[in-house]
Amino acid sequence: MSKPPALPMLAPVTEFASTVDEEAKQRALEVPRYRQQRAALAEAVQRIWRDPAAALATIEDLVVKGVKPERHARAVGNDPAAYGALRGSDRVVDRLMATGRERKAAVEAVGSVT
């Protein structure tokens, strides 16, 4: 007489609530240093772009895709308008007006991001 197969002590896990990538991203978002750096970046982004949420999302997407930070910082420094419309106006007529001063401040603030 053979023994019936023993049942496992624990039921096997066949499905997970989230993927490994989602879990890794969630844990990375919970790190205090990440939250601190993201808050600083969000503050700087608000001074530079008209739509700071879209610019911040673009930057975060590039970071998640694995773009090296040095390369990304150079790209922002060289052409910040590639990440969205900058604050203010770059028209010659507006340079002495409030919109021209706002553009000048936005361009100067790019240094804080790079």
pTM: 0.67
Could you tell me the mean pLDDT of each successive run of 10 residues in the chain, 114 residues long? 76 85 87 91 91 91 85 88 85 71 85 74
pLDDT at residue 92, rounded to an integer: 66
pLDDT at residue 46, rounded to an integer: 92
pLDDT at residue 36, rounded to an integer: 93
pLDDT at residue 1, rounded to an integer: 60
As a whole number of Å, the CA-based R_g of the chain is 24
